[in-house]
Amino acid sequence: DTKHEKSLFSDLIRKKRDGGQLSDEEVKAFIHAVTAKTIQDCQTGAMLMAIWLMGMVPAETETLTREMMLSGEVMKWPEEWKKLVVDKHSTGGVGDKVSLVLAPALAACGCKVPMISGRGLAHTGGTLDKLESIPEFDIDQSKEKVKQLFIHEEAWRTVPEDSESSG
């Protein structure tokens, strides 16, 4: 029921805005609504602003992170990669000083570096924007190919909620 959902999310936004702690079920409902596109963009923005201003306790952060991860396709790596998969995460910024150099260097050392990268949000362009400027470089890869590559476009298939809340 759309009317009930609007009321539910208004109550959740108000609860967080006023410093309350969201239950696991409330966080799950929020993530599901964002992923299913059953919540208005303005409500998503209001909830994210309330979270930003009021913060989250560790339990909320854990649930939010887990539910975002599970909101899309979860990739499984081969067992023989167990001690070889490493992560290189970037918070963004100017320059791509590390990603474009570190991932191939780690791969040359035998590590598996399945990076997910976003597009630039401003004038600098993101890692993907730079890679796309290379003739014949293809960022749109299948799941099987991603297991062989190291930098992959942030996509609706892997973490659709993140694409919704940051785009």
Measuring CA to CA, which residue among 82, 1, 72 is closest to residue 31?
Answer: 72
Greater pLDDT, 123 or 162: 123
Distances (CA, A) of 134 to 97, 131, 137, 143, 146: 17, 6, 6, 22, 18
What domains sit in the chain, N to C, each tagged with a CATH number? 2-70 (1.20.970.10), 79-157 (no CATH)
Q: What pLDDT band is residue 164 in, cutting at 50, 70 and 90?
A: low
Given a cut of 80, whether residue 4 has pLDDT beyond it is: no
Measuring CA to CA, which residue among 113, 118, 140, 141 is closest to residue 128?
Answer: 118
SS3 150: coil
Span 47-76, average pLDDT: 92
Greater pLDDT, 16 or 152: 16
Burial readout 45-54 (b: 16 or more C-beta within 10 A, e: otherwise)? ebbbebbeee
Span 94-101, average pLDDT: 72
Given a cut of 50, whether residue 54 has pLDDT beyond it is: yes
Dist. CA 163–CA 7, nearest whole Å: 25
- Give the angle 87-89-91 at the CA atoms, nearest 5°: 175
One-letter amino acid at 118 equals G
Distances (CA, A) of 73 to 12, 30, 49, 59, 166: 27, 18, 27, 23, 18
Contact status, residue 73 vs residue 158, Cβ threshold 8 Å? yes
Q: What pLDDT band is residue 142 in, cutting at 50, 70 and 90?
A: confident
Span 116-122, average pLDDT: 68
pTM above 0.75, yes or no: no
Q: What pLDDT band is residue 165 in, cutting at 50, 70 and 90?
A: low
